[in-house]
Structure formats: C-alpha cells, structure tokens
Amino acid sequence: MSASWNTIESDAGVFTYLLENLGVKDVQFVELFSLDAECLHQRGPVYGVIFLFKYPVGEKAQETPVDGTFDYDAAESRFFAAQTIQNACGTQALLSVLLNQDDSIDIGPQLREFKDFTGAFPADLRGEALSNSELIRNVHNSFARASPFADEAQRLATEEDDVYHFVAYTEMGGKLYELDGLQPAPISHGSCSFEEFPDKVIPVLQRRIERYPAQEIRFNLVAMVRDLRIRAREIGDEDWLYQEEQKRSAWQWENALRRHNFVGFTGETLKGAVRFKLAGGEAKYAEWVEEATKTTSTRLTERRRFKGGVSEEEGVTEQ
C-alpha cells in the first residue's frame, strides 16, 4: 500500500518547481485568467493545460463521456494512468501532459526511466506504479502546506463535501485528449495539431464550465509552456527577462514558506505580548483590555454607519 499523498495547490509556482525538482528542463506554468485562445497562443509553445474544478461527488459513472468519446486504444499506446490514491491528481495531471510531450521536452533521466518501466503496463498498474513512486511522492509532498490542523486521512467524500479535481488536456497523435485518471480511458475531443491546440481546447473548456450553475466560479486553469525566459533571451527583451526572473524569485520564496507552519511562532508572539502587558501589573492589564474593547466598539460603529447608519443606543456590551 502506498504512503499518503498530501494536498497541493493549483499554483504556477508550485507546478513549475515541482517538475524542476523531478529533473524536467525548460518548462514552466502560467496561470490563465480568461478562456482566450489568442492569449494562450502568445504563451506558446503550449504543451497542455491543467484544469481544476469542483468534482460532482455522487455523480454516477457513465458508459460514454458527456463530451467527447473514450479512446481505449490511446490508453494503451499513450501514457495514461488510472488514479488509485487520494490527493495525487494534481501531480498526475502534470505527468499526463509531460510524459506525452517528451518528444519536445527534456523530462530528465528519472522520469524517462519511470515512463519506460511503465510503458507496457495497463492504466491501473501505471496508476499503482505512480502512487508508489517514492521520488514522485516525496517531491509532490514537499510542496504541500505545512499545517498541524490539516487532516490528510483518506476517507470517502460525501455529497456535502467540496471536492476538487485536476484533469489535463493535451494534443497527442493529431487529436485533442482529456486525460482524467478517474475515467476508464483518455477522452478524445477530435482532430487537433500541436499548433491548433490553443484554438481547439478553449471551446472544450467552455462547454465543460457551462455544465455548472452560472454562479459557480471555482475554477483554475494553468498552461504548461516552454520557459518564458528562453524566449526573452532569444528576442533580447531585457525587461521581460527581468520580470520573469523576479517571478521565479517570488515563487521560490512562496514555496519556502509553504514548507513551514507558523503556529508555534504565532503562539510565542502572543505569549510575549501578554508577558509585556502583564509586566505592568493588574492595573496595566485592565487598561489594555479596556483599550482593546474601545477600539473594537469604535470599529463596529464605523462599520455600521458605513453600511447605512446606526442608532446611538447601539454599541458593545462589556463582558
């Protein structure tokens, strides 16, 4: 049985350095804020996109997909792995694009060995091999937020739970495919060349989003592209290169913060503040509480007035 996989965020910086730590060269992720094919073309070459959405818990499995058609031959001839463990779908979606674009991307010796080793496996065994890969699991977990309150225990989700899922879209062999480890096979969305991918994938994503209520906005979309610093150097754009280098520095800082929880630090800070206040004696402590109460009362009164007025009788009652 494979060890646990922790939840990771759908974040361009997380995904970029996750693949870099697995040995992948010259690839990064960019976050997309609109379903605009031209915007996607401008980031090209685009190897694929990763889509995060709220998973419909309790929905019954269907023999045919809502959109597209199952391609069982592609499940054998391409890299497609069934998802066999909780919380692994983010990294699995990345690898679904990456390991099917290895003719264009340097995936590094370790992932090359993994793909070669699992090449003859059926989808379920590929999923088990991925879930039990110590290298991939450790790199994945290194980007999980450190929190003593996070419960990563595996349990079946109920219809009341908010469950999110990652799926990948990429071009393979002249077709646009949706790669979802919870489905029995890749889903074909018709003919598509590598160059046409941005134009063909946007309508597919739009149709998928339209299946949700109009008020549902909890989606996230990132694209796997060639390292943008390479193009900046090729065209001699020093400003763009500087911006991309600054972005990388910010990602590294954010990823470093994810590895630490600050509960202990926060607790010590609060204890230090309390010790400082108590050093003045009981009178000083009472003065501190009174000042805090007055400040809270003032803020609540101002907030109510901002929202449309408040009577003079309204206020905060001291406990």
Active site residues per annotation:
89, 165
Query: Which residue's structure tokens are 């449309």?
Result: 308
Q: What is the CA radius of gyration of the chain?
A: 25
For residue 96, give every residue at least 6 positions away whose Cβ sits within 8 Å of its Cβ, in sequence order, or none: 48, 79, 80, 81, 168, 170, 179, 181
290: three-class secondary structure by DSSP: helix
Q: Strand, helix or coil at 163?
A: coil
Bridge partner residues of 191 (DSSP): 175
Please list the alpha-helical segments (H only) found in the chain: 12-21, 37-42, 72-77, 89-98, 108-118, 123-131, 134-141, 197-210, 228-235, 238-258, 263-278, 282-306
Q: Record the tokens describing residue 65, joined without a space.
A: 């997909």
DSSP string over 13-35: HHHHHHHHHTT--SEEEEEE-S-
Look up residue 211 and give its amino acid: R
Question: Cβ neighbours of residue 71 under 8 Å, at least 6 residues apart?
Answer: 175, 177, 185, 186, 187, 188
User: Quick check: 167 and 180 in contact, CB under 8 A?
Assistant: yes
